[in-house]
């Protein structure tokens, strides 16, 4: 397999922010060392010039990212350099036209060629810099994936501990239900530990959550009320990190437990053109159960896993309004492709 050009995803907000900051630093240094006009007006004009170049370049590289990714490494390098040079040419032509006193001969060909050549050299340096930056990013993602594995391994024993507690309570009061709960737990872990994938489909994640609630219902019986609203047509189509929702539902159950032992949880799934969202709501319990106070580890792990998986492309926030606690989770849509084990 031929090596491909590794360009950063400039469609991300964090990447755009880095480009703008680095661009402004370069413009400021060039203005300090090369400009004869050291006034703030001169810096402002140079910064505006650089800003337009950066925005056009980012737009072109973001819009054509997939096309560039399909090219061979050499063609992709020349394409990226060409697009960066074109960005400078466009801004330079606009600059000359706006500040030309005569529209009949407004193109300064010598200045255009000089700045195009400078842009060509600078573009080569920038592309090489981003290639090295992307390699560093890939290495960081590999480390983040290892961290995600460690975080997930902490969630599973925690969940197993709670489930075994439920089964042990049932074994003393209702052996038949204890057997049914053990069967449900076995089915749940068979699904959650199926091969070593870190993700699966949204429908599989929902099924894991239903099995968890089934186990809790053995303990709470009719005191557990769960309202599901799934406004997503093709739940099998979208990718979801494994065991990312169950700790949120568990947290809502533990902290929504009322004095009479009842709990009401609302689980609402929705989708937009680009995101999947989940809203979990529960009435805040009158008393916090002390023995459950340490069970928030799963929620903390979720935030860390989301940061490692989605960078700044996710939303995770919680709030309490008039005695109702809600958690909102929004992640980008990613198509789920089932893995074939050979």
Give CA–CA dist 203/167, Å, rounded: 26
Give CA–CA dist 89/277, Å, rounded: 42
Residues in the chain: 342
- Listed residues 107, 135, 154: the one ending a domain: 107
Residue 29 lies in a domain: yes
Cα atoms in the 13 Å half-sphere on the side-chain side of 6: 13
Helix segments in the chain, DSSP class H: 13-34, 40-63, 65-69, 73-98, 109-173, 175-192, 202-220, 246-255, 297-310
| Residue 235 φ/ψ, nearest 5 degrees | -70, -20
Give mean pLDDT in consecutive 10-residue pieces for the chain, a chain of 342 residues: 60 79 82 72 82 87 83 82 86 80 66 82 78 67 55 55 78 82 77 63 88 80 89 89 83 84 91 92 68 51 78 86 90 79 40
Helical (H) or strand (E) element with 224: strand 224-230
Residue 55 lies in a domain: yes
* Domains held by the chain: number: 2
Residues 275 and 150 in one domain: yes
- Listed residues 107, 136, 161: the one ending a domain: 107
Helical (H) or strand (E) element with 321: strand 315-321
Q: What is the pLDDT of residue 280?
A: 94
Contacts of 245 by beta carbon, 8 Å cutoff, 6+ apart = 205, 206, 208, 209, 278, 329
DSSP annotation of 288 reads: -
| Residue 47 φ/ψ, nearest 5 degrees | -65, -40
Boundaries of domain holding 89? 13-107
Contacts of 240 by beta carbon, 8 Å cutoff, 6+ apart = 199, 200, 201, 202, 204, 205, 276, 331, 336
Residues 169 and 238 in one domain: yes
Residues 151 and 275 in one domain: yes
Give CA–CA dist 240/331, Å, rounded: 9
Residues 155 and 297 in one domain: yes
Residues 177 and 92 in one domain: no
Residues 151 and 100 in one domain: no
Q: What is the pLDDT of residue 78?
A: 85
- Listed residues 51, 81, 107: the one ending a domain: 107
Q: What is the pLDDT of residue 37?
A: 66
Q: What is the pLDDT of residue 298?
A: 59
Q: What is the pLDDT of residue 266?
A: 93
Residues 79 and 183 in one domain: no
Residues 150 and 269 in one domain: yes
| Residue 199 φ/ψ, nearest 5 degrees | -145, 165
Q: What is the pLDDT of residue 234?
A: 87
Cα atoms in the 13 Å half-sphere on the side-chain side of 268: 9
pTM across the whole model: 0.55
Give CA–CA dist 335/183, Å, rounded: 32
Q: What is the pLDDT of residue 140?
A: 64
């Amino acid at each position: 397999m031929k090596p491909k050009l590794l360009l950063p995803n400039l469609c991300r907000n964090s990447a755009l922010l880095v480009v703008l900051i680095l661009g402004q630093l370069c413009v400021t240094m060039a203005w300090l060392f090369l400009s004869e006009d050291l006034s703030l007006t001169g810096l402002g004009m140079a910064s505006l010039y650089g800003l337009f170049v950066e925005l056009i370049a980012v737009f072109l590289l973001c819009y054509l990212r997939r096309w560039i990714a399909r090219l061979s490494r050499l063609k992709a390098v020349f394409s990226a350099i060409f697009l960066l040079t074109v960005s400078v040419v466009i801004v330079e032509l606009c600059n000359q036209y706006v500040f030309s006193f005569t529209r009949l001969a407004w193109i300064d060909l010598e200045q255009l060629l000089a700045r195009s050549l400078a842009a060509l050299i600078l573009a080569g340096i920038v592309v090489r810099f981003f290639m090295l930056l992307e390699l560093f990013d890939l290495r960081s993602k590999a480390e983040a994936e290892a961290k995600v594995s460690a975080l997930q391994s902490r969630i599973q024993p925690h969940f197993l501990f709670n489930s075994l507690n439920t089964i042990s309570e049932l074994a003393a009061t209702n052996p038949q239900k204890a057997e049914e709960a053990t069967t449900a737990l076995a089915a749940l872990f068979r699904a959650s530990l199926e091969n070593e994938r870190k993700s699966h489909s949204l429908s599989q994640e929902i099924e894991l959550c239903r099995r968890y609630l089934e186990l809790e219902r053995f303990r709470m019986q009719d005191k557990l009320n769960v309202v599901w609203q799934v406004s997503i047509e093709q739940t099998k189509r979208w990718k979801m990190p494994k065991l990312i929702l169950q700790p949120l539902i568990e947290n809502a159950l533990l902290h929504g437990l009322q004095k009479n032992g009842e709990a009401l949880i609302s689980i609402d799934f929705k989708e937009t053109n680009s995101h999947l969202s989940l809203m979990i709501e529960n009435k805040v319990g009158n008393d916090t159960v002390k023995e459950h106070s340490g069970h928030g580890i799963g929620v903390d792990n979720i935030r860390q896993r989301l940061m490692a998986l989605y960078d700044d492309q996710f939303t995770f926030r919680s709030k309490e309004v008039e005695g109702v606690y809600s958690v909102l989770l929004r992640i980008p849509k990613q198509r789920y492709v089932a893995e074939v084990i050979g």
